[in-house]
Amino acid sequence: MFSDYTSTELVSIFAMQGFAGLILFSVFVLMALGLAIIFGQMGVINMAHGEFMILGAYVTYLLSNLFETHMPALFSIYFFVAMIVAFFAAGALGALVEWGLIRHLYRRPLDTLLATWGLSLILQQTYRTVFGAREVGVSLPDWLMGSIPLTDIIEIPINGLFVMGLTLTIAVSVYFLMFKSRWGGQVRAVVQNRPMAGAVGINTEKTDRITFALGCGIAGVAGSAFTMIGSTGPSSGQLYIVDTFLVVVFGGAQSLLGTIASAFTISQAQSTMEFFLSGSMAKVLTLLTVVGILMLRPQGLFALKIRH
Amino acid sequence: MSTNDIRAYMPKGDLISLLILAVLILVVFPLSMDIFRLNLVGKYLTYAFVAIGLVLCWGYGGILSLGQGVFFGLGGYCMAMFLKLEASSPEATKIQSTPGIPDFMDWNQITELPWFWEPFYSFPFTILAVLIVPTIFAYIIGAAMFKRRVGGVYFAIITQAVASILTVLIIGQQGYTGGVNGITDLRTLLGWDIRTDSAKFILYFVNAGLLIGCLLIAQYIRKSKLGRLLVAMREREDRVRFSGYDVSDFKIFVFCIGAMFSAIGGAMFTLQVGFMSPSFVGIVPSIEMVIFCAVGGRLSIFGAVYGALLVNWSKTTFSESFPELWLFAMGALFIGVVMAFPSGLAGLYKQHIGPRIRNTLATIRRDYLASRANAKSQSFATD
């Protein structure tokens, strides 16, 4: 299959597909980071994670309309406002869901899965009722459009670069929050030994709620970033949820670094194969490989050595 | 088997439940419904096969599979491939550029029947394939996962991924599988037109008979030593392992049984509905199948049948009249059944309705005995 192309063309193809893969990687990482906190750290299966992401996307859509009609002067920076609002909107909904639903089910992980699936159905239908079944897109400010030509064949879209920068920022801040801050220490203490964490004076219920809300908030930001590279429909979230879970499980559920590494592997494999095979076959092959590796190595790529 | 053995496997309560269900399916439904509604009920009952399998896997074994649609679909596709080949004889398809192959292959510029379609000319092979292909598939997944002691949530996610992969594969390989539309326009089974009313009527009873057969197998498993081991494993897997049992073999076995039941349901679905498509394979239908089981009561094989009937019936009714409300209702059902009624309809019956019926029956019996005693003493008095 390589013989039809010259070597320079091949290099460019790999570079372009590699870059497309990097954008996919950024979206995967953003979605998976939230899930890695909720699923990897807390052990809660949140099947409605995609819907939290879509909430962020719709918030961005609403704000872009608002700025366009009422504050056109500030339109070029609306995106930053939208991300912050998306974070807090999704986080607030997350805290509410944790209070109403999740906290009753911490001991029944399989039931959490079913209940959050029900929640995702309700949220989807709510989006459909409020925003309509059609997919919506946002208009980007001028400085995010266009691309930087690198050579005559290779061009790098600016919005892709922006999403990657954003991902990097969020990943680094999550790392510092989880591993360097006092609050992150509390979260990890609660995860590792709940009664002991409670005994030394950590408010475990509050920690759980904030952790869950933070995971959902990151999903909201992911949704906000998602609007820059694709349109949003009521059921877009469901399309990504299985991939995202696979990313987290493949990376080794408790390791944030593993999540990022596995998001990188999966997205690069998929986008490189997509050029040579049909999109669906690329996806089938990628997912099959992941499932196959998980069957051989169920603990994921980067398993922490913990005694259970 | 002596009478005592039979009694051990089929206690009086279960026997009554089975008889009531059999009368409902075999007598009440056929007498009270026209053929269109009866065919719909037949379709709902094909999901009951899956739900019974899930009761064994999830309720008893504690293994939640979110990929039962895979097995339902594999069974259904095996049957559909046979029917499709029969429907695309060279005479029936002579307007195609390659006569004798299914129409969707012709549309996708395929000029030769793929090798894996060839054996499906034979009916015995098809029946075997319906039963064996999904079971082998389940064995591979089960052996890979359970031998490495993967279970619970991870198993659920992996099975869900498998369902997702199979759907993408079926939709992507349009020329070999019929793509999104699936395999449609199925006509005859061994020359017998399955689209007529009489055929639908007979297929309904075949389906009902198979369902009762599966219920009996499930009941046997439930009451056997295997059933008790499954419950023990669900509660304290390590203790069962330390007692010298190979836990994974039991899990694989019950997962394979669930897969085989689902496949029978899928094959009967194809026969009764007349097509098979990827929309019965993917993530959404698979997780809906879990809710049939949960609504019925995850520990009750009879409840599972009622759960499948009730959820599907309300889905049809709701989505006919209030299509927007259906997803809300479905979502509420998922949350409600987990938060408020973890043991489903069967639990409600056991806790509330059953005792009431038993009380009423006891009162009637007491009154009857008392009145008879009265009558006797009066008759003595008059003598």
Does residue A305 register a pLDDT over 60?
no
Task: Give a yes or no: residue A150 inside a domain.
Answer: yes
More confidently predicted of B230 and A5: B230
Which residues in chain A touch residue B144, judged by CB atoms under 8 angstroms apart? 295-296
Full 3-state SS string of B92-131: CCCCCCCCCCCHHHHHCCCCCCCHHHHHHHCHHHHHHHHH
Residue of chain A with shortest Cα separation from B142 = A295
Tokens of B245: 């049992």
Same domain, B257 and B383: no
Number of domains, chain B? 2
Which residues in chain A touch residue B287, judged by CB atoms under 8 angstroms apart? 114, 117
N-term to C-term CA, chain A: 48
Does residue A307 register a pLDDT over 50?
no
Average pLDDT, chain B: 87
What Rg do the C-alpha atoms of chain B give, in angstroms? 24
* Residue B157 contacts A, CB cutoff 8 Å: yes
Task: Give a yes or no: residue B1 inside a domain.
Answer: no
Tokens of A231: 């349109």
Tell me: the pLDDT tens digits for B73-114? 999 999 999 998 888 877 777 777 777 788 888 888 877 888
Q: CA nearest B194: which of B62, B32, B80, B67?
A: B80
Task: Give a yes or no: residue A308 inside a domain.
Answer: no
Number of domains, chain A? 1
Task: Give a yes or no: residue B10 inside a domain.
Answer: no
Question: Which residue from B141, B172, B335 is facing A118, i.e. has the nearest CB?
Answer: B335
Question: Which residue from B157, B332, B334 is facing A117, i.e. has the nearest CB?
Answer: B334
Cα–Cα distances in angstroms (integers) from residue A247 to residues A34, A215, A256, A301, in the given order: 12, 16, 11, 10
Residue of chain A with shortest Cα separation from B63 = A110
Average pLDDT over residues A15-36: 80
Query: Cα(B118)–Cα(B176) distance, rounded to whole angstroms?
Result: 12
Task: Give a yes or no: residue A193 inside a domain.
Answer: yes
Burial of B115 (0-12, 13-18, 19+ CB in 10 A): exposed
- The ipTM value here is 0.83
Strand pairing partners for B173?
A: none
Burial B50-70 (b: 16+ CB within 10 A, else e): bbbbbbbbbbbbbbbbbbbbb
Q: Which residue blocks in A71-157 are alpha helix, DSSP H?
A: 78-100, 109-131
- Interchain contact, B283 vs A242, CB within 8 Å: yes
Residue-number span of the structural domain to which B221 is assigned: 20-342
Question: Which residue from B149, B153, B290 is facing A45, i.e. has the nearest CB?
Answer: B153
- Matching residue, tokens 């019950």: B254
Does residue A72 register a pLDDT over 80?
no
pLDDT on residue A308 = 43
Question: Which residue from A118, A287, A298 is facing B165, i.e. has the nearest CB?
Answer: A287
Which residues in chain B touch residue A287, judged by CB atoms under 8 angstroms apart? 161, 164-165, 168
Best residue in A104, A111, A114 to probe B by mutation, most B CBs within 10 Å? A114
Same domain, B96 and B230: yes
- Interchain contact, B337 vs A294, CB within 8 Å: no
Pairing of strands A155-157, A147-149: antiparallel
Task: Give a yes or no: residue B301 inside a domain.
Answer: yes
Average pLDDT over residues B266-289: 89
Tell me: the pLDDT tens digits for B119-149? 888 889 999 999 999 999 999 988 888 888 8
Same domain, B338 and B359: no
Does residue A273 register a pLDDT over 90?
no
Task: Give a yes or no: residue A301 inside a domain.
Answer: no
Same domain, B194 and B293: yes
Same domain, B289 and B331: yes
Same domain, B287 and B377: no
